[in-house]
Amino acid sequence: MTHAGISTAILGLATSGLALTAACTHHGQNPEAEPTAPLRAVRSGTLTGPFNPADPNLIPDVAERVLPAVVSVASTRAAKVESPDLPLDNPFFRHFFGPGLPSPFSMPPGAAPEEHGLGSGVIVGKDLILTNAHVVADAKEIEVTAGDRRSIEAKVLGVDTKSDLAVLRITSDTSGLHSLEFADSSRVRLGQVVLAVGNPFGVGQTVTMGIVSAKGRADLGIEAYEDFIQTDAAINPGNSGGALVDLEGKLVGIPTAILSRSGGYMGVGFAIPSNMAKPIMTSLVEHGRVVRGYLGVGIQSLDAELARALGVPSANGVLISDVKANGPAARAGIQRGDVILSLNGQPVHTTGELRNVVASAGVNAKVKIEFWRANSRRTAEVTLADMPDEPSAKGVGASTPAPTRAGLSVQAIDNVARQRLKLPADVRGVVVTAVEPGGPAARAGIQPGDVIEQLDRQAITSEDQLSRAWDAAKSGVVAVLVWRDGSTFYATIKR
């Protein structure tokens, strides 16, 4: 499996008619239009008295006590409108916008089209509302409505797009409002009954019931940091930011996305677990942003094929595909090609798992990493830093000669190529100028503009070196180190 395996898995669902959809609604200016969710990867008081699971009134009692803590969150933001290529009076556009309805192309001068979103939120603590980032992101106005239809004034306190969480602070009278208590989501069990509470499609507060279908869902490509609880409780657009609760009425998770062909419920929903949401909320309240631990490495999943190509004994662990200069890992001696096996004694199996553990460990935390290198297990102690801003993407080059070895053509890096691709001075290798459609390199995910730094663990700086290394490789699967968009990763090319 190549570095593109995660996105390929998602695209495989999409090409069969499935899409990951954020569980909130957005619609334009027509207030009568049925709200629909864009198909995109996504994006109450505490119970008192004894807990008796055999009580036939248990679920109604839980619902009655949870509903007052779940609110509706409506937002207004500027809509993005592109200029049409067709005449503005084209009948197609009038049919699309409807007779008598204003289109973005027939508005009064100075007027701007608006987009209206609708999601949910959960009151936690005295004056805080926890919701999804995509419910309130870039909002000009926010309207919060309690279950008793009371209007609540609130302002955005902090937004974390990497986890899709946001916190609002209530600025109006909080008397009579109820809140939910956080559950320990690590204790949630598969098959456990849960309730989803929110405002689907804007119809009003709704309670649905299901079970926990899976835990620890990550590497789905919905958010940068994922550790989802999967449930079959009905979640629809408008449920985003609402509550997933257990039968004690405690907050287990925040519904965020669904897997769907139509944009509606199909039995697969995802919620951010409470144990992930709570510290992120605390960080947003205290710092206005999320302070995450930073290891300073690029990582990718290790499958059996790549493990064999790199000479690693098994596919257990996470492969280091890049090490940032002067970063925490580099200072501790971690190298590209190492395979992380455990962190602080806890085994790590997936990139999402490692990313979450490092982030939650925090800045200046000292972590003990066990890794595999050169046929032996080794350890290193790393002091984590603060997560920097994400680097911007780089441009890619154009294609020229016909592909040769491995179904690709390359050229040495000269000053022109370095400037065009904005390559850092320490990047050495050959630039991919063309890839044969359907060839070995294309199937491995190699693209024009990529820089091949190593092939079969040998440094490559010319087309001749690439050809010799390819011909000399003894394995049927060859590991290739590729630089793209500011970082490196490993890919495997079948001979």
Question: What single-letter amino acid sits at 229?
Answer: I
For range 465-482, the mean pLDDT: 85
Asked if residue 376 and residue 348 are part of one domain, the reply reads yes
Among 160, 164, 227, 232, which one carries the catalytic annotation? 164
Predicted pLDDT at 275: 93
Burial of residue 256 (number of CB atoms within 10 Å: 0-12, 13-18, 19+): buried
- How far is residue 138's CA from residue 75's CA, in Å, rounded to a whole number? 9
By mean pLDDT, which of 5-19, 295-309, 336-350, 372-386 is the weakest?
Answer: 5-19
Same domain, 447 and 476: yes
| Residue tagged 């979103």 (tokens) | 117
Query: Domain limits at 437?
Result: 405-494
**Is 240 labeled as catalytic in the residue annotation?**
yes
Do 341 and 380 belong together in one domain?
Answer: yes
Which of 325, 357, 386 is at the close of a domain?
386
246 a catalytic residue: no
- Give yes or no: residues 340 and 367 share one domain: yes
User: Above pLDDT 70, what percent of the chain?
Assistant: 78
Give CA–CA dist 167/459, Å, rounded: 48
Provide mean pLDDT across the span 344-364: 89
Q: How confident is the model at residue 24 (pLDDT cuts 50, 70, 90)?
A: low
> In 3-state terms, what secondary structure has residue 50?
coil
pLDDT in tens, 30-74: 333 334 433 333 333 334 455 566 677 889 999 999 999 999 999
Q: Report the alpha-carbon distance of residue 11 to residue 248 in Å, rounded.
A: 38
| pLDDT (tens digit per residue) in 70-90 | 999 998 876 554 444 434 343
Instruction: Indicate if 409 and 443 belong to the same structural domain.
Output: yes
In a domain, 185, yes or no: no
Q: Which two tokens stand for residue 468?
A: 């010799």
418 lies in a domain?
yes
Instruction: Answer whether residue 365 is part of any domain.
Output: yes
Asked, for residue 481, whether it belongs to a domain, the answer is yes
Q: Examine residue 420 and state whether it is found in any structural domain, yes or no.
A: yes
Options 72, 120, 179, 240, the catalytic residue: 240
Quick one: tokens of 412? 């040495």
Q: What is the pLDDT of residue 197?
A: 95
Asked if 378 and 417 sit in the same domain, the reply is: no
pLDDT, residue 232, reads 95
- CATH number, domain with residue 439: 2.30.42.10
pLDDT of residue 50: 52
Query: Is 106 within the bounds of a domain?
Result: no
Contact 370, 378 (CB under 8 A): yes
Per the structure, the count of domains in the chain is 2
Is 39 among the domain residues? no
Express each pLDDT in 276-327 by its tens digit: 999 999 999 988 888 899 999 988 888 888 888 888 888 889 999 889 888 9
pTM listed for this prediction: 0.64
Residue 149 belongs to a domain? no
pLDDT in tens, 210-248: 999 999 888 787 888 888 999 999 998 889 999 999 999
The single residue of 72, 134, 163, 338 carrying the catalytic annotation is 134
